[in-house]
Structure 1
Amino acid sequence: MGQRRAVLIAGPTASGKSALALKRARASGGVIVNADAMQVYDTLRVVTARPDGDDDALAEHRLYGTVPASERFSTGQWVRAAGQVIGATDPERELIFVGGTGLYFEALTNGFADVPEVPPELTLQVQQEIQVLEERARMALLAAEDPETARRLKVADPQRVTRAIAVKRATGRALSSFQDDQQPGLLEGWAIERMVLSPDREVLRERIARRFETMFASGAVEEVEALRALDLDPSLPVMKAIGVREISDWMDGMHSREEAIALATIATHQYAKRQRTWFRNRMGDWPRLGLEGQSL
């Protein structure tokens, strides 16, 4: 048995990752594995642009729509689920990981520190506590509660300070101690082909706008109706999927259809911009390709 093979296809939303993954899977007989934090949830297939039944008929897909909308699915849970997929797949078959969640790819290649989930109410409490503090005061508070993590942080970024303090209060352990226990990447020792899709911004903007036009006509409204009927906690990840609030507000008469599409398009473009920044900063050495894997 030779070295196991994996293809990692990252990129911003609407860049053609799924189409490229499907093409690769059909050519190699590989298995497509979801690496997108929103596409793990059920209920919102259209809104999250999850592969449909036709795609499933053409290639084997894993970790899509497997988590109830009522749950929170952490990166650590995804790592464990991906590990199960790896273990259950014929070693001769190529695994094609595709998505836009950078932390998932880091867990595959560099490893992941499995930090326990922190109750949302505790995180909110810490956020409220530090939002009135200047940087020096934030660092002093962190140093009092978690001196080792404070020593490692060069800047008292509010988000990082909030996470470190919340983890310490929730678990009694320093965030740095979890980071020191980081496990090796799931694909350590594999033959890995990496790529980031990075199409022209204007092309991506146009694709995003067309996507929401299509979503409105192909089931997105019905999905949001079904989601609303569940009466879920608004803080759940699935409730923050782009398109949910915009369509919900349109249903409530707060926007016209055109305004809802425009707002969702703007939100998606901003999200794609954040994804690009993350990939540039954390995956800068990965080869760049254009739309659906075209050469740049």
Structure 2
Amino acid sequence: MRPTSTSPEPPASVIAVVGATASGKSDLGLELAQRLGGEVVNADAMQLYRGMDIGTAKLPVGERHGIPHHELDVLEVTEEASVARYQVAARADVAAIRARGRAPILVGGSGLYLRAALDRLDIPPTDPALRSRLEEEALEQGASVMHARLARLDPAAAAGILPANVRRVVRALEVVTLTGRPFSATMPTRRFLCPTTMLGLRVSREVLDERIDRRVERMWRDGLLEEVRGLLPLGLREGFTASRAIGYRQAVEVLDGVSTAEAAIAETARATRRYARRQESWFRADPRIVWLDAQAPDLVERALDVVCARALRHDPSTGDPPPPPGGAGAMPDNG
């Protein structure tokens, strides 16, 4: 029998709701938490930041229906988001939620953060001085030169990182320099720490783009510019991670007088669509995800069916669920 709000026994140790931005993850995660007696653990890197609410589509406190939400508002905008820090904190949250007899429900679209929390992954060391030096070299020499250096040292890692993604290139070079091992060797294996059900929300390209456009316009109507204006005295410009957040960077340009609101809205929508494509590519590669139609009128019921069925079929020795029969639930290639 399917658990309900009157039968809060969690059907699986951990549930994750993943997918592209604007696919409806927050709403589904909240519904599952209500139905299963669960608590939500945020897995969106930008929602870690205190005060970055409108531009990250953070679910307002008044709309959480009393469901505890963890890993929200835990960083100042001047702090750098760290996968290693998040891994420790999110795993502690999951353990505490399970100890309370409740269901941990991770919700978000930051792929590496999700895998750091759920998979068997050792975070490689970091050296701030080395990182700073590599970042300076990237500014002086350019992204393509740094990527070419990585290609010589670790071809596998370079093949998986876009040359324009300077931050990832620098991180890979940092790990190779510190450990003498390929950065690619530190990537997580697809092995869960404990029994986990991953639900992915799929949306057609046309519908997702429309949702993104509407969301961006709504953010600006709801006061994104004023939110950013209030964050500038708190150090938003100096924040290595926060200052690069989509929407916030464009809003700063408007406040600086180098862009118009119309141009900023259009660029925010374009950047968000590009980000959504990268999210789709990341999650599409994970065969453990059971994909659900985000527009299905009975989405919550379908999700509960998957969660309950998987709970009976998890391999307790590995934490890994079997693949869906016949490849059911595979995510379509939207191009």
Distance 1:200 1:131, change over 3 A: closer
What CA distance in whole angstroms lies between the structure 2 residues aligned with 1:62 and 1:218? 24
Cα distance, 1:151 vs. partner?
A: 8.2
CA gap of 1:193–1:264, structure 2 versus 1, over 3 A, is same
Task: Indicate which of 117, 123, 127 corresponds to 1:114.
Answer: 123
Deviation at 1:199, TM superposition (A): 0.4
CA separation of 1:73/1:205 partners in 2, compared to 1, >3 Å: closer, same or farther? same
Contact 1:22 1:55 in 2 (8 A): no
Q: Distance in 2 between matches of 1:36 and 1:197?
A: 15
| Secondary structure at the counterpart of residue 194 of structure 1 | strand
- Of 2, 22, 26 in structure 2, the residue corresponding to residue 18 of structure 1 is 26
Q: Percent identity?
A: 31
Please tell me whether residue 174 in structure 1 is matched to residue 187 in structure 2: no
Verify the 8 A CA contact 1:164 1:174 in the aligned structure 2: no
Q: Deviations over 1:15-61 (max 9, x none)?
A: 10000001111111100000111111111111111111113343111
Counterpart residue type for residue 188 of structure 1? L
Measure how far apart 1:4 and its partner are. Answer: 5.5
List aligned pairs for 1:72-83, cutoff 5 A: 72-83=80-91
Q: Secondary structure at the match of 2:45?
A: coil
Match of 1:123 in 2: 134
CA offset digits 1:94-119 (Å, max 9, x no partner): 11001001112222443222123343
Shift of 1:129: 7.8
Aligned to 2:3: none
> Are the aligned partners of 1:11 and 1:197 in contact in 2 as well (CA < 8 Å)?
yes
Count of aligned positions: 282
Cα offset, 1:284, TM superposition: 3.6
Aligned partner of 1:145 in structure 2 is none
Question: Hey, what's the Cα distance between the residues in 2 that align with 1:254 and 1:151?
Answer: 39
Residues 165, 246 of structure 1: alpha-carbon distance in 2 compared, 3 angstrom cutoff: closer
Q: How does 1:40-59 map to 2 (within 5 A)?
A: 40-59=48-67
Instruction: Please say if residues 7 and 193 of structure 1, whose CA atoms lie closer than 8 Å, have aligned partners that are also in contact.
Output: yes
**Distance (whole Å) between structure 2 residues aligned to residue 44 and residue 215 of structure 1:** 12
Higher relative CO (Cα under 8 Å, sequence separation at least 6) belongs to 1
Does the Cα contact within 8 Å between 1:114 and 1:178 map onto a contact in 2?
no
Q: Using the alignment, how far apart are the partners of 1:36 and 1:231 within structure 2?
A: 21
Gaps of 5+ in 1: 143-149
Q: Distance in 2 between matches of 1:134 and 1:179?
A: 18
Matches within 5 A, 1:189-204: 189-190=194-195, 192-204=196-208
Q: Which amino acid aligns with 2:259?
A: H
Residue matched to 1:147 = none
Q: Are residue 240 (structure 1) and residue 244 (structure 2) matched?
A: yes
8 Å Cα contact 1:212/1:264 also seen in 2: yes
Contact 1:196 1:289 in 2 (8 A): yes
Mapped partners of 2:184, 2:158: distance in 1: 19
Aligned AA (1:124): E
Per the alignment, residue 188 of structure 1 pairs with: 193
Uncovered stretches (5+) of structure 2, i.e. residues with no partner: 1-8, 303-328, 330-335
**In structure 1, what is the Cα distance between the partners aligned to 2:187 and 2:215?**
41
Question: What's the offset of the Cα at 1:88?
Answer: 2.2
Q: Deviations 1:126-181 (Å, cap 9, x if unpaired)?
A: 5438834895x7655x2xxxxxxx48769596667644432344xx4224499569
Normalised by the length of structure 1, the TM-score is 0.81
Instruction: Give the equivalent residue in structure 2 for 1:258.
Output: 262
Aligned letter for 1:257? A
**Distance in structure 2 (CA, Å) of the matches to 1:177 and 1:105:** 19
CA distance in 2, matches of 1:133, 1:177: 14
Secondary structure at the aligned position of 1:45 is classed as: coil
Moved more, 151-160 or 238-247: 151-160
Closer, same or farther: CA 57–285 of 1 in aligned 2, 3 Å:
closer
The alignment's TM-score, normalised by the length of structure 2, stands at: 0.73
Structure 1 distance, partners of 2:270, 2:118, is 32
CA distance in 1, matches of 2:156, 2:42: 33
Stretch moving more, 220-229 or 117-126: 117-126
Deviation at 1:277, TM superposition (A): 1.0
